[in-house]
Amino acid sequence: MAEIKQIKEDNFQKEVIEANLPVLVDFWAEWCNPCLKMKPLIKQISEEFEGKIKVCELNVDQNPGKAANYGIRSIPTIFFFKNGEVVSQVVGVVGKKEILKHMVKLIG
């Protein structure tokens, strides 16, 4: 079963920027209903692409500095990183088809 890694400001560099795999980072908060709506899809993506990408979550309430660094103004926001760089992003509730369009940029 694929793991969704909980990341924080203190391990973001290691887990995302220095990761050996492309990384999907879900910026979310516990009180955010749209974020909770996206959770099953994020879990499904993590399972389907296990070994090809790393899937992480960052709680914006607990890590406001990192959310500010990336200009997060609305959640859910998903960033796609490859080789430590942001390749693309998605804001709001989207379907699997939209996520998969961005996944192509990560893994070809």
Catalytic residues: 32, 35
Paired with 23 in beta bridges are: 54, 81
Peptide bond into 76 cis (omega under 30): yes
- Residue whose structure tokens are 């709506």: 37
Strands of the 85-91 sheet, one edge to the other: 4-7, 54-59, 23-28, 77-82, 85-91
Paired with 7 in beta bridges are: 58
